[in-house]
Amino acid sequence: MIAAEKLWAALKLLRTRDVSPPWLWTSGLSVLLVALPFAVRLDGQQHADWLQFLGRFHPLLVHLPIGLLVLLSILEVAANSRPNLRDAAGFVLYLTLVTGAISLIFGILLAYGGGVVGSTVMRHMWGGIALLIELLVCATVRPAWISGRIERAYPTLLAVTLLTLAWTAHQGGSLTHGNDYLTDYMPGPLKRLFPSSASDAAYAGSVYVRRIHPILDAKCAACHGASKERAGLRLDFYELLMKGSKDGAVIAPGNPDHSLLLQRVTLSPSDHHFMPAEGRTPLSPDEIADIRTWILAGASPTATSVPGITLIAENAELPIQPVADYSSLMTEIRAMQSSQGAKLVAVSAKPSDGLILQTVDIAFKFDDAQLAPFRRFAPFIVEAELGRTAVSDDCFDTLSKFTNLRALHLEGTAVTGRSLSKLSSLSQLRYLNLSGTKVTSEALGPLKGMPNLHHIYLFDTPAESSSQATDSTLRSTQ
């Protein structure tokens, strides 16, 4: 803290500009700045609340020197054609220095007060210190550049300072948003160049990698990861998760009730020790249940299946397959409409988006025999609205020919599910509504392996009430 006060006093002196010789000041201050991280040691402990309170203004304050430094560069370039801007640039440089120094002090308060440690914090802090030293040197050489005694040194320095700024800001961004903030939505080919930091490559395909790690990564790693290690605990790799915190293990394999991690996430959210801390999004009941089941089964990093944990298929949503052009059949399609009463309606103006089979106006008398002629257009039909029609189990013979079918409404019909297996060849089927039918859970068996079928509705059916297990495996998985 004393160092910071000295720095402050020195900066004020510097602003008065009558300091001489300037280089002596610059080197003195630089030495002080470099000594700062050694004077204020980050010990991973949280300190007085007021330190944290002030410190939390750092992320807000830093935008001042950042903006000013960019403005400074713009002014210096613009002054080549508008010389009267040159004076303003000098003033902005001093403002950048002063606000930069204040931001640095608040940043150190934040890290020290909040007990933040880790390599990213250190890189960010050294970046900030380097920036201030560069700014000091800029301020020292600028007068010589203005008077024409030197030519290149100042612009070069300014460019270097801007690069340091970008790097430091990125480190700071990683601290607040997590390491993968910039790369998360990166296009696939680029992403391969920047492999994600947290991947337990050796356990690919395991329940841990597919279900447990993603939960901890999304909800805990911001504070228990590479950039911050609260309580000395990291949850972003299996080995570190099992190693536990500075006080020991947080997972007791086979014994969820003795696992500190599970205890902390199941406390009342108002409890001081509730995790995730600081009002971050809590774990959902499903997530907690799966972590419990996984610990109970031994917390293995390699097991590829754990009874009770449903893994979402990796290729969860395959891209929608366009259908062929039906334009040449338009006359037939219209004729069909007037003879059968059911309509084939285009999804959009693009033929490749397919057709919807609609029966609304004649639903009560639309039966298997009337459905049969639609085989003629089978490959173009992407949706069949057969809810509350008179179709029966025989309709599946026809429907199994609708190879591009994505959504099938059979709610309120007489189907029992006896021949549901005929649908299993419909690889595009995503939505199946069987609510209000007599379908049993046994009848649903053959549908389990269907790759795209994520939404099955079974409200008010024997399947819904007879078996919880079937329901939860077939429930919509989003």
In 3D space, the residue among 131, 114, 140, 136 whose CA is nearest the CA of residue 62 turns out to be 131
Pairing of strands 355-358, 343-346: antiparallel
> Least CB distance from residue 254 to ligand HEC, whole Å?
18
Of the candidates 116, 121, 128, the residue with the CA atom closest to the CA atom of residue 33: 128
Work out how close the CB of 407 gets to ligand HEC at its nearest, in angstroms, rounded to a whole number.
Answer: 36
CA–CA dist 136, 125 (Å, integer): 17
Shortest distance in whole angstroms from residue 129 CB to ligand HEC? 26
Nearest distance, CB of residue 425 and ligand HEC, angstroms:
42
| Min dist. Cβ of residue 275 to ligand HEC (A) | 4
Any bridge partners for residue 308, and if so which?
Answer: none
Q: Does 97 bind ligand HEC (CB under 6 A)?
A: no
Q: Where are the alpha helices (DSSP H) in 115-220?
A: 119-146, 153-177, 188-191, 207, 213-219
Q: Closest distance between ligand HEC and the C-beta of residue 29, in Å?
A: 34
Question: What's the closest the beta carbon of residue 169 comes to ligand HEC, in angstroms?
Answer: 22
**Closer CB to ligand HEC, 258 or 280, in the complex:** 280
Q: In this complex, which beta carbon is closest to ligand HEC, that of residue 261 or of residue 415?
A: 261
Is residue 51 a contact point for ligand HEC (CB under 6 A)?
no
Phi and psi at 253, nearest 5°, equal -55, 135
- CB of 399 closer than 8 Å to CB of 384: yes
Distance between CA atoms of residues 132 and 104, nearest Å: 9
Lookup: tokens for 427? 């690889």
What does the DSSP 8-state code read for residue 348?
Answer: S
Q: Determine, following the binding rule CB under 6 A, whether residue 75 of this chain makes contact with ligand HEC.
A: no
Figure out which of the listed residues 278, 327, 348, 476 binds ligand HEC, where binding follows CB under 6 A: 278
Beta-bridge mates of residue 120? none
**What size, in residues, is the chain?**
478
Please, which residue, 45 or 425, has the CB nearer to ligand HEC?
45
Smaller CB separation from ligand HEC, 47 or 375: 47
3-class DSSP state of 153 = helix
Helix/strand/coil percent split, the chain, to 5 = 55, 5, 40
**Counting contacts by CB under 6 A, is residue 223 touching ligand HEC?**
yes
Give the DSSP H or E segment for 409.
strand 407-409
- Contact with ligand HEC (CB under 6 A) among 90, 100, 256, 276: 276
Q: Segment 241-270, which members bind ligand HEC (CB under 6 A)?
A: 245, 247, 250, 260-261, 264-265
Nearer to ligand HEC, 217 or 393 (CB): 217
E strand intervals along 183-263:
none
Q: Which among 140-148, 202-210, 229-237, 365-373 is the span making contact with ligand HEC, rule CB under 6 A?
A: 229-237
Query: Minimum distance from CB of 418 to ligand HEC (Å)?
Result: 46
Under rule CB under 6 A, residue 177 binds ligand HEC: no
Q: Measured between alpha carbons, how far is residue 72 from residues 14, 17, 82 in Å?
A: 18, 19, 14
Question: Cis omega before residue 269 (within 30°)?
Answer: no
Q: How far apart are CA 86 and CA 81, in angstroms?
A: 10
Tell me the window of 195-203, 277-285, 328-336, 449-457 that interacts with ligand HEC (CB under 6 A): 277-285
CB of 119 to ligand HEC, least distance (A): 18
Q: How far is the CB of 304 from ligand HEC (least distance, A)?
A: 23
Coil, helix or strand at residue 116: coil
Distances (CA, A) of 348 to 186, 276, 377, 432: 31, 46, 17, 22
Q: 250 or 434: whose CB is closer to ligand HEC?
A: 250
Strands 343-346 and 455-457: unpaired
Binding residues among 181-220 for ligand HEC as defined by CB under 6 A:
219-220
Return the number of the residue (17 or 280) whose C-beta is nearest ligand HEC.
280
Nearer Cβ to ligand HEC (232/298) = 232
Q: Select the span of 172-180, 221-229, 358-366, 399-407 touching ligand HEC (CB under 6 A).
A: 221-229
116 binds ligand HEC (CB under 6 A): no
Shortest distance in whole angstroms from residue 296 CB to ligand HEC: 17
Q: Count the residues of the shown chain that bind ligand HEC, applying the rule CB under 6 A.
A: 22
Distance between CA 367 and CA 390 in Å, rounded? 5
> Distance between CA atoms of 120 and 42, rounded to whole angstroms?
13
Using CB under 6 A, list all residues that contact ligand HEC: 219-220, 222-224, 230-231, 233, 245, 247, 250, 260-261, 264-265, 273, 275-278, 280, 283
